[in-house]
Amino acid sequence: MKFAREFVKTALIGGALVVLPLYLAVLLLLKGMQAVAGLVRPIAGLLPQWMPAENILALLLVLVVCFVVGLAVRTQAGRSIRGRMEVSVFGKIPGYTMIRGLTQRIAGDTSENVWKTALVEIEDALVPAFIIEECDDGRFTVFVPSVPTPFAGAVYILNAARVHPIDVPFAQALQSISKWGSGSKALVAAMEARNT
């Protein structure tokens, strides 16, 4: 009974962590389109009636604004403004830092020292995990994702002898977890190569 309750809870949380950001992104996109619809209405009137020109032009305008903001954030001034906003506004949102680190790792950004891939010893098994931080006493805080939803799981603080960091890209480890462990032999091979 306890196992079933835990399974339902982790599946529900994992599903929510996937569905909610997608839902919010679509909702924001639709709201943005609705906000700029008045701006594109005169141009849409010039196009054929059978074409949903107002919606298409509104979507294009929102995408252009997103593109321009994305370019601006890549500049020195944009990075500075983004950094201040992350600390003063977004950093206060629960879970923002974790999701930000996770998405950066999925995108291939390895500049941060979080989310290093590892195999950890839990009971008599090796379990795919991610190293969150190293404690001052040499132990590691690790996140062990649940299968097949890697956005939910458990946090453990383990002795260094039970944590085996491996040189495997974050995205590859995430893919193995989301595919019910398929591809785990590459994780084990990376651990064995490191130990030799």
Cis ω on the peptide bond leading into residue 169 (within 30° of 0)?
Answer: no
Q: Taking a C-beta distance cutoff of 8 angstroms, is the pair 54, 44 a contact?
A: yes
- CA dist 112 and 130 (Å) reads 13
- Amino acid letter for position 122: I
| Domain residue extents for the chain | 2-93, 116-195
Nearest CA among 93, 110, 124, 90 for reference residue 170: 110
Average pLDDT of span 59-80 = 85
Nearest CA among 163, 91, 166 for reference residue 133: 163
Q: Which range is least confidently modeled, 7-11, 33-37, 62-66, 154-158?
A: 7-11
Q: What per-residue confidence (pLDDT) applies to 139? A: 92
Environment class of 84 (CB within 10 Å of its CB; exposed 0-12, middle 13-18, buried 19+): exposed
Half-sphere exposure of 96 (CA within 13 A, CB side): 10
pLDDT tens track for 128-186: 888 888 888 989 999 888 887 777 788 999 999 899 998 887 777 877 887 887 888 88
Stated pTM of the model = 0.50
pLDDT tens track for 72-114: 888 888 888 877 887 777 777 766 666 666 666 555 555 555 5
